[in-house]
Each structure stands twice: as structure tokens, then as C-alpha cells.
């Protein structure tokens, strides 16, 4: 098997470190690993395959001879280096939102639209973490009837805000337990013992940018330009893994038993749906692994063509790093 030169752009961040871990877990054929970061990270080290890899500052010269670049950096960094990466002949699998809506850039969840990888012109985008988790659970149900619309509420872990999110939650809990104040710094309000019904910037009609991603990205991934999604995104005091309550409207009536059968066999999913036995997805069960856990399937009581479900997935893995490595696996096939 051919080995590949792989660069991870943003290797010291939470997603970058997960990418390194998952490349190793999935035995991706890495001949040479290049860890790239900001000037601040230059000279530090990351672990890969039992070795300490020095982190280099990303420059225009960093991508010569590289086959695949996994992007775990911010939009500005992705926009800056994407032309250089493609000019050097590498394929850029980018986790930022910079290119997701570019018409010539595939937006891929490998369990749903793997064939779109073939359409790339040097850049392939990873979807938003909540989009990837939600659609992995929802898309298989199209085998029963076309989807018309989705209502969703997301319950997103603090680690979705970066490394500083879990630190703030833990320190707030500790401080409050001692009766001491801990002013919020990462989040706009106290997150310990609280919910914050706002993630992302205000965008349109009272929705935030995070809430609109499920519609815009869902349309592209599912190849349904008329898909409508109404979403509310909530930050919750959970360390890891996002949860989603979704109500899916189909063109036809969908039988719950048939839906369970589909999801039990769906790639990337694990069905946990026995309410009497207390078996249903939770963030803890879904953390630190790659399957999207799906359960609480039930007929909607207001519309016979609507089905409700609950799903949980690790946003650092399937919602980001694992999805990117899966895309890279499709590339080398």
C-alpha cells in the first residue's frame, strides 16, 4: 500500500489532536506526518504513533511534497493557505466553515454522500459538527420516504467552543461550590448549572449562524435545495458530545418499526431505543467513539407524516476529526 505525506494544519488544537489520534487508530497509511500550527505553537510537540512530532509554524513553504492536508484551523487560516495547498498539488480536507457553501467545494459526510468526493478541485469541506451528527442519524430514513423538512433543537457541549470551554465549566463549578464568583469569559453567561440558548452570531429572522447551518449544509449534503430546517441551538453544561432532538417531516407516513430497522443497519449509527429498559442515547455514552447513537423514535402526535428522534454524537470525533479522516480514506481509495 502506498504511504502518504499528511499535514495537519492546526495540530495543537482540540480537533487537530483528535485528527492525529484518529489517523493512528484507523491505520491511515501515513508515510510522513507534518504538524503545523501558528507562530505561537512553533517548537512545541504533538504525539503521533509513539513519537513526539515537532510543530512547525505554517508558512507558504510548508506544503511542498504533501499529499493531503487535514485542516483544523480557523476560517482566516484556511482561506490564507488553501490556494497554496492546492497549488502544491495536495488535497485540502478542511474542517473550518470557510468553503462549505462554495459551489465547487464538496461538503461530505462519508456515510451519506461519499460520491461527492470525486467532484473536488483540491478542497473538500467537513460540515458543521451538529450537521454531521444530525444527518448521520436522519439521512438513512430517506429510504422510507423523501424528507420535506426538519425541526431540531441541539444541546451542544462546552468543548464545542474550543479547549477553553471545558476549563471554564469546571472552574465555575469549583468556584461556585466554594461560594466564590467566577465571571464568564468564554460564554456570554454562566454555563455551570445553566443553559444558554444562543450559539453563533445573529443572522436572519432571529436565528443564529449556528442554527442556519443545519439548513444550508443539509441542503448541499442531501442534494435537496428546497429542504427547510427550523433549529434552536443551546449550549449546555456537558463536557463532550452534542445531542439533538429532531422531528422529521416526510412526504409519506413512516412506520416507527420500519425506521428502527433502517437505523439499526445504518452505517455510522447505533440504535439504542428501549425506553422501558432505560436504553437511549446520552452524551456520556456517545463520547470518545465514532458512532452516532440514535433512539427515542416515536410518531409525532401532531402530524402523521412526522417522526421524532433523539441522537447523540461526539462532536470532536464524528462531528469533526473522524469525518475528515474518513474523507481522506475515500480520497486514497
Supply the residues annotated as catalytic: 129, 242
DSSP label at 233?
Answer: E
List of residues 6+ apart from 140 with CB closer than 8 A: 262, 263, 266, 269
Beta strands in the chain (DSSP E): 4-9, 30-37, 45-48, 51-57, 68-71, 91-94, 123-125, 147-156, 202-204, 207-208, 228-235, 242-250, 269-271, 292-299, 306-313
**How many whole angstroms separate alpha carbon 212 and alpha carbon 222?**
15
Give the long-range contacts of residues 105-111, CB within 8 A, separation 24 or more.
107/217, 107/220, 107/221, 108/221, 108/323, 108/327, 108/330, 109/135, 109/136, 109/139, 109/221, 109/323, 110/268, 110/323, 110/326, 110/327, 110/329, 110/330, 111/136, 111/139, 111/266, 111/267, 111/268
List of residues 6+ apart from 59 with CB closer than 8 A: none
Do β-strands 51-57 and 45-48 pair in parallel, antiparallel, or remain unpaired?
antiparallel
List of residues 6+ apart from 206 with CB closer than 8 A: none
Please give the order of strands across the beta sheet that includes 45-48.
Answer: 45-48, 51-57, 30-37, 4-9, 68-71, 91-94, 123-125
**How many whole angstroms separate alpha carbon 155 and alpha carbon 256?**
24
Amino acid at each position: 500500500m502506498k504511504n502518504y505525506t499528511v499535514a495537519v494544519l492546526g495540530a495543537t488544537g482540540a480537533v487537530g489532536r483528535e485528527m492525529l489520534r484518529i489517523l493512528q487508530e484507523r491505520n491511515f497509511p501515513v508515510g510522513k506526518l507534518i504538524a503545523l500550527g501558528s507562530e505561537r505553537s512553533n517548537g512545541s510537540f504533538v504525539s503521533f504513533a509513539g513519537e513526539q512530532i515537532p510543530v512547525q509554524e505554517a508558512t507558504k513553504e510548508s506544503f511542498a511534497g504533501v499529499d493531503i492536508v487535514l485542516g483544523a484551523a480557523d476560517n482566516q487560516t484556511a482561506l490564507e493557505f488553501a490556494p497554496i495547498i492546492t497549488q502544491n498539488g495536495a488535497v485540502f480536507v478542511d474542517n473550518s466553515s470557510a468553503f462549505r457553501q462554495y459551489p465547487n467545494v464538496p461538503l461530505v459526510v462519508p456515510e451519506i454522500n461519499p460520491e461527492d468526493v470525486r467532484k473536488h478541485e483540491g478542497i473538500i469541506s467537513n460540515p458543521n459538527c451538529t450537521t454531521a451528527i444530525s444527518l448521520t442519524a436522519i439521512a438513512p430514513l430517506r429510504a422510507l420516504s423523501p424528507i420535506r423538512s426538519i425541526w431540531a433543537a441541539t444541546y451542544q457541549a462546552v468543548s464545542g467552543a474550543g479547549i477553553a470551554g471545558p476549563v471554564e465549566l469546571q472552574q465555575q463549578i469549583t468556584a461556585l461550590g466554594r461560594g466564590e464568583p467566577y465571571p464568564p469569559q468564554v460564554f456570554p453567561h454562566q454555563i455551570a448549572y445553566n443553559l444558554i440558548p444562543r450559539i453563533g452570531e445573529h443572522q436572519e429572522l432571529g436565528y443564529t449562524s449556528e442554527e442556519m447551518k443545519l439548513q444550508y449544509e443539509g441542503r448541499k449534503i442531501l442534494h435537496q435545495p428546497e429542504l427547510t430546517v427550523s433549529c434552536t441551538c443551546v449550549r449546555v453544561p456537558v463536557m463532550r458530545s452534542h445531542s439533538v432532538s429532531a422531528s422529521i417531516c416526510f412526504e409519506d407516513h413512516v412506520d416507527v418499526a420500519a425506521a428502527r430497522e433502517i437505523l439499526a443497519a445504518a452505517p455510522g449509527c447505533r440504535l439504542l431505543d428501549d425506553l422501558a429498559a432505560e436504553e437511549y442515547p446520552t452524551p456520556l455514552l456517545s463520547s470518545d467513539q465514532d458512532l452516532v447513537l440514535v433512539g427515542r423514535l416515536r410518531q409525532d402526535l401532531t402530524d402523521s407524516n412526522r417522526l421524532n428522534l433523539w441522537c447523540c454524537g461526539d462532536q470532536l470525533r464524528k462531528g469533526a476529526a473522524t469525518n475528515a479522516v474518513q474523507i481522506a480514506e475515500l480520497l486514497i481509495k
